[in-house]
Amino acid sequence: MSGNLAQAYAPLLIHLLVALGLAAILLILSSLIGQHRPSREKMQPYECGITPVGDAREPFDVKFYLVAMVFILFDVEAVFLYPWAYVFRELRWFGFTEMLLYILILLAGYVYLWKKGALDWNPSKTQRDRQT
């Protein structure tokens, strides 16, 4: 490793080590010092203040997983906008047209999902009638 590269990444490495060390220290202190008094109330699953009803292993609708995957997909894709914004002035019109094409592809995927009904959480009346 060259001297310049090591000097450039030294603050990042120190920051990472301090963050990991602090997290480890807090977890260890919490387990050593914290009071451990389990009760029936504390051992119940947390349901946002609502008393749990039914089985915890109830199957979810597939649409839930589809929306979660779409969210992750678009979230990861949005991350690519940050490096592009950083070098936007160097790329000029080429970078602008490439990012415009990229966003249009994402928009086409979004419109496709919208037309397929993957984002519709309120089933239509015909779908409700078929389920009953």
CATH number at residue 58: 1.20.58.1610
Lowest mean pLDDT among 39-53, 87-101, 107-121: 39-53
- 8 A C-beta contact, residue 113 and residue 70: yes
Q: Domain total for the chain?
A: 1
Q: Taking the model in full, what pTM does it have?
A: 0.46
**Residue range of the domain that includes 18:** 3-131
pLDDT digits (tens, 9 = 90+) for 57-77: 778 777 778 778 888 888 888
Both tokens of 103, joined, read 């966003």
pLDDT per residue over 22-49, tens digit each? 999 999 999 999 888 888 877 777 767 6
Contact 103, 74 (CB under 8 A): no
Rounded CA separation 102/15 (Å): 34
Rounded alpha-carbon distances, angstroms, from residue 62 to 59, 83, 121 = 9, 34, 11
